Structures are given as structure tokens and as C-alpha cells.
Amino acid sequence: MEEQIRKIKQESIEKIKTIENLKELADEKVKYLGKKGELTTILRGMGSLSKEERPIIGSLVNEVRDELEILFDSKEKKLKRKDLLKRLETENIDVTEPSKKITLGSLHPITQIIKEVEEIFLGMGYEIADGPEVEKAIYNFDKLNTPPDHPARDVQDTFYINDDIVLRSQTSPVQARVMENKKPPIKIICPGAVYRSDSVDATHSPVFHQIEGLVVDKNIAMTDLKGTLEMFAKKCLGENTKIRFRPHHFPFTEPSAEADVSCFVCGGKGCRVCKGEGWIELLGCGMVHPNVLKNCGIDPEKYSGFAFGFGVERIAMAKFGIEDMRLLFENDIRFLKQF
Ligand code: DAH
């Protein structure tokens, strides 16, 4: 048996010398030292040896196994190092080569305008409010003094989820939500998507964006509204922008007005953007109707307020010179890249 063990040892030493790859080395190691390997088999068969032989053979097997293990390990290290050197030689990286260009996206023009307007109003001490796009009809209409027979409530104009719930047709319901939850002084703007049953063309889309503004406090007057809008127009559209009010009607404001800005392209002389008018229609506004204050739990004898609301698409189109609103929603990267 001693003879056999020495033979295994010798054979294995020779083998290790000739092996040149790691896989083969691992296979050989299993063959000699593994659970079913040759040395283990000998250890298993020791039951048939005499009492005197057993410890001698046992210790010889262990000795050989330790030796072989050392040899296998050192060969493994050698082969690994050789592999590494070879890879370092062949897989060289040219760190001076230009890297792949990563193209970063940019904010959508609508988002850009919203952010810009937010900055302007934050600078004037406003807070940004938010409200649901799927809204109760009560907030979209009733609390805003818009009676059940008002034409805006028609299914022709507004998307109904059921009799009581609509896709908000304006950001104005956020006014009511804020007033119910907060005591004056209130100074908020609310940007967001709104929905109307309009067919798509160059100036209409069933979904578009508005920014609502609301201020409620003691002694708020029309002059505050005008001054605020003037300041906003100058910051957003240019220092020389002028503003004018035309009488109008909204159910939730009294008096109500539409505000125009002098054309920021031609400065008021008349051009393609203002269609020769010199003025561009900007927004709806007015003094918050006493009924609206009352509906939202604010005493109209003590407090007054102003509100305004405008379409973001219209501003984006005028500012960026976009002639067709559909471009803003088609997500064509060639179009969006320009902003
Ligand atoms: N909600 C109106 C609309 O969609 C715009 C508007 C007009 C908002 C007057 C206001 C306002 O807050 O006071 O046409």
C-alpha cells in the first residue's frame, strides 16, 4: 500500500508540472484529493489493514495529501498570475480615446415656463399650491359661484367622470380648496393640467396647462391686482411690457377683466405674433366674488382678494415662437431639442 501511495504522489507531481490551464488543474485536484479521489479511497479502505499498519499508512496519506495540496495551490497561483499578465498585455485600454457622448435631455418648454413663473411669484412671497386633476364638480363649479345652468358645465365642454366628478376644466378649484384650508393672508399660485372637451387644432387641445393665482387679505384692491400682473409681465416677458385691462365676465370674480400685454415681439407696433394688434391676450382676472369667499368660509366683510388664471401653452407659444400647439404634445425629439 505504501508503494501505491508513493506512486500516486509521484504521478500527481508529474501531472501538476505539465498542466497549463486552471480548469485542468482543478479537475486533477479533484481526481487526487477530492471526496472520491484516489487518496481518499485509500483512507476509506484502511479498515482492512492490521492495527500496526493503520497509523503508518494513515499518516503517510495525510502527509502526501498536505504536500500535494501545497503543490496544487502554488501552481494555481502561478497560472492565475500568468493569465493576468496575458490579459494585461492584450486587453490594453487607451485612456486618451474620447469617451462616448451622453446626450442629456432638457425640460419640456411647458415645464420651463411653469418653473420660470413659479420663480417670479416665489420672489413676490407666494406659495405654490396643488390640487387634484380629477375634481369634484362642486369645487370646479359650485363653490366658484358657477350655477348649475352655466354653459361651461355642459357635457359639450367638460369631461364628466360621473354627475359629481369631472376632469377639472380650470385650475380655479384650487382657489376654493386653499381658502377652505387656510386663513388669510393667502398668496398662492397653482400650476397644473386642465381638461376640456375641445377638438385638437393649432390653438386647442383637450388637455392643456394653466397657472392660477389667488391673494386674499384685508384691504386687497384692484390696484394690487394690476400692480402684481404688471410686475409679473415685465419679469416674464420683458421690462418694457405694458398691460391693459378689458372688462369681462367670470362667475367667480366681480369685477372681472381680461388682461392683455403689449406685444413683446414688436413692442406694440403690430406684427405676426400679435396679429397686427400690438396687444396679446394674456389672462383672466378679477376681484374674488363675495359669494366665493362666503362659500369657502371667509367673511367678505372683513376680507377681499384678487385672482387670475392664464394658459401656459399660450405663453410658451408666444415666447418661443411656436405656431402650432400640437407640437407641444407630440413629443417629437427634433422639436423638443430646440428648447
Ligand atoms: N378659470 C378661468 C378660465 O379657465 C381663468 C380665470 C379667470 C381664472 C379669472 C381666475 C380669474 O382666477 O379670476 O378661463
Radius of gyration of the chain (CA): 41
Distance of CA 306 to the CA centre of its chain: 33
CA of 194, closest atom in ligand 1? 4
Helix, strand, or coil here: 172?
coil
Share of the chain above pLDDT 90, in %: 65
Distances (CA, A) of 194 to 188, 312, 313: 18, 11, 12
* DSSP-assigned letters across all residues of 198-227: ---BTTB-SEEEEEEEEEEETT--HHHHHH
Range with the lowest mean pLDDT among 38-47, 81-90, 104-113, 282-291?
38-47
Nearest residue (CA) to ligand 1, atom 3? 170
What are the pLDDT digits (tens) for 184-207?
999 999 999 999 999 999 889 999
Indicate the CATH number for domain 109-336: 3.30.930.10
Mean pLDDT value across residues 15-29: 90
Using a 6 Å cutoff on CB, does residue 309 contact ligand 1?
yes
Type of residue at 79: L
Per-residue confidence (pLDDT) for residue 40, from 0 to 100: 84
Question: What is the dihedral angle through the alpha carbons of 25, 26, 27, 30, rounded to the nearest 10 degrees?
Answer: 120
For residue 45, the CA-to-ligand 1 centroid distance in Å is 97
Ligand 1 site, residue 289, Cβ cutoff 6 A: no
Looking at per-residue confidence, does 247 or 86 come out higher?
A: 247
**Does the beta carbon of 158 lie inside 6 Å of ligand 1?**
no
Q: Are 43 and 61 in contact (CB under 8 A)?
A: yes
Determine the average pLDDT of the residues in 232-242: 94
Q: Is the pLDDT of residue 3 over 90?
A: no
Task: Let me know the angle formed at the C-alpha of 113 by 257 and 241, rounded to the nearest 5 degrees.
Answer: 50
Percent of the chain at pLDDT > 70 equals 100
Q: 251 CA distance to ligand 1 centroid (A)? A: 9
> How many whole angstroms separate alpha carbon 214 and alpha carbon 256?
14
Query: Residue 42: pLDDT above 90?
Result: no
- Mean pLDDT score of the chain, rounded to an integer? 93
Nearest C-alpha to atom 5 of ligand 1 is from which residue? 309
Query: pLDDT tens digit string along 250-262?
Result: 999 999 999 999 9
310 Cα–ligand 1 center, Å: 7
DSSP for 127-159? EE----SEEEHHHHTGGGT--TT-GGGSTTTS-
The tens digit of pLDDT for each residue in 176-186 reads 999 999 999 99
Cβ of 253 below 6 Å from ligand 1: yes
Count other Cβ atoms within 10 Å, centred on residue 274: 22
> What's the 76 CA to ligand 1 centre distance in angstroms?
79
Cβ-contact 295, 143 below 8 angstroms: yes
Tell whether the model's pLDDT for residue 285 goes beyond 90: yes
pLDDT 10s digits, 293-312:
999 999 999 999 999 999 99
| 92: pLDDT strictly greater than 90 | no
Residue 209 Cα to ligand 1 middle (Å): 12
* Domain residue extents for the chain: 2-90, 109-336
Burial 161-190 (b: 16+ CB within 10 A, else e): eeeebbbbbbbbbbbbbbbeeeebebbbbb
List, in sequence order, the alpha helices (H) in the chain: 2-18, 22-33, 38-44, 53-90, 109-123, 137-140, 173-181, 222-237, 290-295, 312-320, 333-336
Question: CB of 315 closer than 6 A to ligand 1?
Answer: no
Residue 121 pLDDT > 90, yes or no? yes
